Structure 1
Amino acid sequence: MKIDYSLESENHLQHYLIERSQKGDRKAQGELYHLYVKNMYNICRRMMGNDDDASDVLQDAFVHAFSKLNKLNDKELFPGWLKRIVLNHCIDALRKRKQFEMFENKEVEDEGNENSDWSGYQIKRILKAMDNISVGYRTVLNLYVFEGYDHQEISEILNISTSTSRAQYSKAKEKIRQVLSINVN
């Protein structure tokens, strides 16, 4: 039986870097940054809708994370903890720019499997189309499809009702379909 130690050594490296970073080691912080920057940038890019804003928010989020790193007791929670900080910074930045607007909607009919419509499209085309929809739609779509939150969690994160989350998601899908059909024809 062959044992794969790569995950164990990855976790050990992450724990070591977190420990050193908590003690103010800038080099360890840089290494930790490089381990997570690509994934966190992708979150920022999808949420913010452009490269410049995504880069700005990403930097602010990492600065915040490193300043609060001493409060993280369980090093295993670091990836999720960092992701939540990044998402919160994105949402805060959108709110500050007054770009973030949620519209309370009446209940939206349940469409069954909410992810079924996406299987026919290439992910790059969808991501590009997402840049052309409203921030509110894009935010709910990102949180639901890419970050894996359910509508109850999204409602808590964004301070909206679950029916508004469902409505925004439904409208986001429709807008994406419209943008994709325009780009195809």
Structure 2
Amino acid sequence: MEEGLSEQETLVKKCRSGNPLAQHILYDRYAVSMYNVSLRILGNTGEAEDVLQNSFIQAFKKIDGLESNEMFGSWLKRIVVNHSIDALRKRKIKFISLDANDIEIEVWEEPPSFFDEKPKKEVIKKIQNGIKQLPEGYKTVINLYLFEGYDHSEISEILGISESTSRSQYIRAKKKLRKILNNNSKVNF
């Protein structure tokens, strides 16, 4: 490690020089999490593996464009998300805009009882399986919003849709997911 630089900064600096060992270390550090990001968006292991490889290739080719060496992880995640979205576009996924009148807002007087309990592995697994059953457009928006932490303005930019379309897709995805979970479970979500 170079004096005054973090390990991350040192590795990225070495990658800028084309150091294959530094590239390998960064790949090992980020591959699993970036694969999971892509898999959540695409729902297909083969496509997610392809996206992962292409994302790392692009990242190492364009690493000179990275402004801050410490931001490598978030920069790489953005590349992975963009490549995943491109793969979805190749499938011709449609994002449907809805009028405000089409959206039902659900308000709870009190949170449902399942919020009081810590999630169990089986409940989490049921939710993950439910998300897999959603139409691609819904699945993409709900994954970007809930799991990747993007807001609707960022999602609209990434997907090339309006913010209202992102919001309506998210609301409809939650409604459909709740219906899927209630049909497959004794617990009402």
* Deviation for aligned residue 1:109: 4.7
Q: For each residue in 1:134-179, what CA deviation from the matched residue of structure 2 results, as whole angstroms up to 9, or x when unmatched?
A: 1110111011111112212211221211211111001111221222
* Deviation for aligned residue 1:111: 4.4
* Residue range with higher mean Cα deviation, 84-93 or 47-56: 47-56
Q: Does 1:101 align with 2:91?
A: no
Match of residue 133 from structure 1: 134
Match of residue 48 from structure 1: 42
Cα 1:159–1:22, aligned 2, differ >3 Å: closer, same or farther? same
Match of residue 182 from structure 1: 183
Alignment of 1:108-123 (within 5 A): 108-111=103-106, 119=115, 122-123=123-124
Q: Could you tell me how far apart the structure 1 residues matched to 2:107 and 2:53 are? A: 39
Residue 33 of structure 2 aligns with an amino acid whose one-letter code is: N
Q: Does 1:66 align with 2:60?
A: yes
Q: Does 1:13 align with 2:7?
A: yes
Cα 1:90–1:112, aligned 2, differ >3 Å: closer, same or farther? farther
For 2:77, which of 70, 77, 83 is the aligned residue?
A: 83
* Contact 1:33-1:62 within 8 A present in 2 as well: yes
Gaps (5+ residues) in structure 1? Answer: 1-10
2:165 alignment partner, SS class: helix
For 1:31, which of 25, 32, 37 is the aligned residue?
A: 25
Q: For each residue in 1:102-146, what CA deviation from the matched residue of structure 2 results, as whole angstroms up to 9, or x when unmatched?
A: 011112355469xx7895763332222211111110111011111
Greater C-alpha Rg? 2
Match of residue 144 from structure 2: 143
* Contact 1:47-1:90 within 8 A present in 2 as well: yes
Q: TM-score, normalised by structure 1?
A: 0.84
How many residue pairs match? The answer is: 172
Q: TM-score, normalised by structure 2?
A: 0.82
Q: CA RMSD in A?
A: 2.2
